[in-house]
Amino acid sequence: MTLLNEPTQHTLQFYLTAPYPCSYLNGPTARSLMAAPNELVDSDVYGQLVRQGFRRSGVYTYRPQCLGCEECVPVRLDCTAFQPNRTQQRAWKKNAGLVAIPQDLTYRDEHYDLYRRYQASRHSGGGMDQDDREQYQRFLLSSNIATQLIEFREGDALRMVSVIDVLSDGLSSVYTFYEPDLPQASYGTFNILWQAALCRSLGLPWLYLGYWIAASDKMAYKINFRPLQGLAGNTWQNLPPLQPTSPTQPDNHE
């Protein structure tokens, strides 16, 4: 299988996982195409893979490869042309007091406590809400590429944490978790706006947002950020206007 440019394609291997329950849609089973070995996926290689629809979870790089299902559409925001709508502008103004602070990609109890509360509120029963520090560190703090961890504070209060990969042509949003007890704060929307602004300040055209899944309430929100491109086959194409989704807060997850 040829997925990368020379010479990486001769050393990186790809394999299919066994079927497992889909995390986003009830009923279907899922499979993933995995890239291996993990240590060969550096920033340059990962950038190529992202442009071909891959994502990462910790050091594992994957792409959905489900039989008879193409609901997971890789998407990226054109940050050079993006103009926030009125709802997004309100979210930006509402959170003008948040201060973004870059931190090392290391474990902190304060971050983990927020992550646990976020998972318990947003994904209760999904397995990620269990008290498992090692799982948290493998998922968010393990990386072989250029990764930034940004915490957002309102005064002394930690409100949000975002993990972002830096690629040659853009940023890739890995995961964001935020204060679940303030649902009207629109932290998820603000975070995407903040990442898009960071792309522009760095002269990077694309913000890779993972997968858009129209049938999943928690993944459909991405269509509200435009112009949005989706990967169809081997070609990135502008997605046509669709009916805006309900104001479900972004997960920024895969």
Extract the tokens encoding 183.
């649902």
Q: Where residue 53 falls among pLDDT bands split at 50, 70, 90?
A: very high
> Could you give phi then psi for residue 20, rounded to 5 degrees?
-150, 160
6: pLDDT strictly greater than 50 = no
Report how far residue 137's alpha carbon sits from residue 30's, in angstroms, rounded to the nearest whole number: 24
% of the chain residues with pLDDT over 70: 88
Q: Supply angle C-alpha 243, 245, 251, rounded to 5.
A: 145
Q: For 78-94, how does the pLDDT look when each residue is reduced to its tens digit (9 = 90+)? A: 999 999 999 999 999 99
Specify the pTM.
Answer: 0.91
Average pLDDT over residues 230-250: 77
210: pLDDT strictly greater than 60 = yes
Query: What is the model's pLDDT at position 152?
Result: 98
Q: Where residue 11 falls among pLDDT bands split at 50, 70, 90?
A: confident
248: pLDDT strictly greater than 90 = no
Pick the CATH number of 74-238 from 3.40.50.300, 3.40.50.2000, 3.40.630.30, 3.40.50.150: 3.40.630.30
In the chain, which segments carry CATH 3.40.630.30? 74-238
Q: For 223-238, how does the pLDDT look when each residue is reduced to its tens digit (9 = 90+)? A: 999 999 999 989 999 9
Q: For residue 101, what are the CA distances in angstroms to 50, 98, 156? A: 26, 10, 12
Average pLDDT over residues 189-194: 98
129: pLDDT strictly greater than 90 = no
